[in-house]
Amino acid sequence: MADPEHPQIYLVTPPEIELSRFPDTLARVLDSTEIACVRLALATRDEDHVSRTADALREVTHARDVALVISEHLILAERLGLDGVHLTDGARSVRKSRKALGDDAIVGAFCGASRHDGLSAGEAGADYVSFGPVGRTPLGDGEVAESDLFAWWSDVVEIPVVAEGALDEESLRRLAPITDFFAIGEEIWRADDPITRLAELRATFI
């Protein structure tokens, strides 16, 4: 799943998407560099908007042979023909999601900075485990996933690991030898030119 030489990019959508524009932006980003997977991570709980956005992005990603997973919404992942689900509650929903979606689906689990939750998610059938944030941020509870967690994981556990949250050039360089994927999202969507910003970040670890 992971490149043995370099981490791969796991692209996370913005929390708010303008459907008249974002699919074209996403298409250009996917055409600009190799992306392993896209995560639809909307802040809204509006089922209609989430569904319409998923449909639009699925057309873009699948046309380029890129997997599309959705944060949390297990039922919609199955109903909309997406490639899987990204869970945000550690290991708690992994087994249920795997049973619902089947062996071929992608089931990933965000586990904060908890080694225990990561191991539990892996044992329950997660395809990858995500740790973060990797940098200081006023959001959340202030806990940071330190480098030694990724170093230990890469040495001991075979399940791919994703680094995400408050990524910058320094953390990308530091974690590149010990992570399989970087989940990059707001780090590029806040920029005037997401493609240029992504290229700048990618240059630090490729």
The answer to whether residue 3 scores a pLDDT higher than 60 is no
The answer to whether residue 1 scores a pLDDT higher than 60 is no
The answer to whether residue 154 scores a pLDDT higher than 70 is yes
pLDDT for the residue numbered 174: 97
Q: How confident is the model at residue 60 (pLDDT cuts 50, 70, 90)?
A: very high
DSSP string of 25-73? HHHHHHHHS--SEEEE--S---HHHHHHHHHHHHHHHHHTT-EEEEES-
Mean pLDDT value across residues 30-56? 97
Mean pLDDT value across residues 35-51? 96
pLDDT for the residue numbered 135: 86
| Residue 169: how many other CB atoms lie within 10 Å | 13
pLDDT for the residue numbered 132: 97
Q: How confident is the model at residue 169 (pLDDT cuts 50, 70, 90)?
A: very high
Burial 99-134 (b: 16+ CB within 10 A, else e): eebeeebbbbbbbbbbbebbbbbbebbbbbbbbbbb
Q: What percent of the chain clears pLDDT 90, i.e. is strictly above it?
A: 92
pLDDT for the residue numbered 2: 41
The predicted model scores a pTM of 0.94
d(CA 33, CA 15): 22
Tell me how many degrees the CA angle 98-103-107 measures, rounded to the nearest 5: 45
Mean pLDDT value across residues 134-149? 84
The answer to whether residue 4 scores a pLDDT higher than 70 is no
All structural domains of the chain, each given as residue ranges with its CATH number in brackets, are 8-202 (3.20.20.70)
pLDDT higher at 206 or 123: 123
d(CA 59, CA 38): 12
pLDDT for the residue numbered 137: 76
Please, what is the average pLDDT of the chain?
Answer: 95
Whether residue 133 has a cis bond before it, omega within 30° of 0? yes
Tokens 């297990």: give the residue: 74
pLDDT for the residue numbered 103: 95
